[in-house]
Structure 1
Amino acid sequence: MFKQLFQSMNEALDLIIRAYPTSQGSEKRALAQQLEMLRNMSDGIIEEWLLFEEKLAAVKHRPAENTDAPYGSNLPLPNVQQVSAASDDTDHYLRNTDTFQRGEGYFKLLMFPEAIREFQKAIDQHPEFLLARLYLALGFLQTERIPEAYSHLQILVSLAEDGRLKAVAYNALGCVQALTGNVEKACEFFKQSHQIDPELQDPLYNLKACLVDGGVLQLGVAIG
């Protein structure tokens, strides 16, 4: 969204630069007003960015919090980088659409209701877009809409041909089962996930949690 904003601002500034030297009278005054408006917008963005950087720096210096949580206290998500790599879609251009990129941006910012809205649009337009469906399911998990998440994950494991995508979906299904108290079924899904993609680490952590650690899931929420 900021890229689009700065693109519009740059286009407006280019028009002013071309027209200003030969402008006169009311046209010149109008261009000067537009230039002042752009300067105010730029100053405002810089000020907000500096405030954001101060808050971000403060967070970075806080002690790291424990990311393990018992069943039901937090809903687990696979690593976002793993999700981004999980795609068997033939139409890779769909990942560059505004709808998907907005959804992915909201997801990384943990703005899950907004992410759900964008990913729902994406699969309404392209039901075969499995990566968007995976993000949608994970968004439903984070907002505790378990039946909707489970439904989309079942569709994913039935349609996905890519190993990583299917493995991530099975791991998420295992987390759903664990959170609802069905540990035996959860272990089955975690084992399936690991068999499909042995390089995916979360299913092993989660399987160990179910069998040894008394129900502590590996959340794996690593953004960036």
Structure 2
Amino acid sequence: MFQHLFAVMNETLDQIVQEYASSPPERRVQLEEQLGLLKKASDSLIEQWLVFEEKLSEFQHLQQAFPAAPVPPASGGCQTEAAAELAYSDKQQAAAFDAPSGETALEGGDALSLTDQAAEFFTLGQGYYKLFMFHEADRFFHKAQHECPESNLIRLYLGMTNMHLQNWNEAHRHFQMLVALTDFPKWQALGYNALGCIQAVRRNMEYAEKLFMKAYEVYPEFTDSLYNMKSCKESPQQLSLFFGSTELCCL
């Protein structure tokens, strides 16, 4: 998994280097944003690695003070209660991901239902998503959905990815299912808000405003919907819309 992550980061950096000199100013701004994300990811990996190395070194010093423990007999695959508890904790951490606005995906209700294969595909898709590589993200999110077709977490990311790709019909399908099936208020608000953006793009302003208001009613702390409603009323010919993408990619 880490090998694949570094391969993606190197590939993205190579692309930035190749394009930068010959790109117009607008494209350079996008490339610089991508470079900033790569630098942030690199710094985070280095910091976490140093913390791990420090903890490992401390434990190795502690370990030297104890005699070697005898190797226990094979248990036939049975798991002790303590081992089972640790495995569950590890699975929680692996499945929590970076859900919207710092909320854990466990609060979204279905993260622990992801299979190991789906979790791997989802994590790869999320990595591409944060690098703005949405075609690649969409491919891995679809693989994850094939493994866990009922996952609302995957539906949410598929919807957001298709919003970026301007695949409005596909995004609409994912968000319609999301708002109908999730009990998580913030995810419902993200869904209604995105559906409102799609209607605004299609110039169905009255319906869009109703959806933005529904998003606000479901989760008042999510203020993008109010901004979008104001944009529809005050500047319908020059729409500036927020569909909640930063709730996922800025973590």
TM-score range, shorter chain: 0.5 to 0.7
Instruction: Report % sequence identity.
Output: 33
Tell me if 1:121 matches 2:143. yes
1:93 Cα shift? Answer: 6.3
- Matching residue within 82, 89, 108 for 2:100: 82
The equivalent residue for 2:239 is: 216
The equivalent residue for 1:184 is: 206
1:212 Cα shift? Answer: 1.9
Residues 1:121 and 1:127: Cα distance change in structure 2 (over 3 Å): same
Q: Name the SS for the 2:114 alignment partner.
A: helix
Higher relative contact order (CA 8 A, sep 6+): 1
Q: Name the SS for the 1:216 alignment partner.
A: coil
1:4 Cα shift? Answer: 3.5
1:221 Cα shift? Answer: 5.0
Amino acid at match of 1:59: E
Residues 1:216 and 1:90: Cα distance change in structure 2 (over 3 Å): same
Tell me if 1:172 matches 2:172. no
Structure 1 CA distance, aligned partners of 2:205 and 2:182? 25
Structure 2 CA distance, aligned partners of 1:197 and 1:95? 30
The equivalent residue for 2:125 is: 103
**Does structure 2 retain, via aligned residues, the 8 Å contact 1:113–1:143?**
yes
Amino acid at match of 2:241: Q
**Does structure 2 retain, via aligned residues, the 8 Å contact 1:86–1:131?**
no
Structure 1 CA distance, aligned partners of 2:165 and 2:205? 21
Q: Name the SS for the 1:217 alignment partner.
A: coil
Q: Name the SS for the 1:170 alignment partner.
A: helix
Report how many aligned residue pairs link the two structures.
Answer: 163
Structure 2 CA distance, aligned partners of 1:176 and 1:198? 20
1:146 Cα shift? Answer: 1.3
Amino acid at match of 1:82: P
Superposition TM-score, scaled by structure 1 size: 0.62
Tell me if 1:146 matches 2:119. no
Residues 1:192 and 1:100: Cα distance change in structure 2 (over 3 Å): same
**Does structure 2 retain, via aligned residues, the 8 Å contact 1:116–1:136?**
yes
Q: Name the SS for the 2:172 alignment partner.
A: helix
Structure 1 CA distance, aligned partners of 2:138 and 2:148? 15
Structure 1 CA distance, aligned partners of 2:178 and 2:199? 16
For structure 1, the 5+ residue unaligned runs are: 8-44, 61-79
TM-align CA RMSD: 3.3
Q: Name the SS for the 1:176 alignment partner.
A: helix
**Does structure 1 retain, via aligned residues, the 8 Å contact 2:110–2:153?**
no
For structure 2, the 5+ residue unaligned runs are: 21-27, 34-97
Residues 1:5 and 1:213: Cα distance change in structure 2 (over 3 Å): closer
1:135 Cα shift? Answer: 0.9
- Matching residue within 10, 32, 37 for 1:59: 32
Residues 1:89 and 1:187: Cα distance change in structure 2 (over 3 Å): same
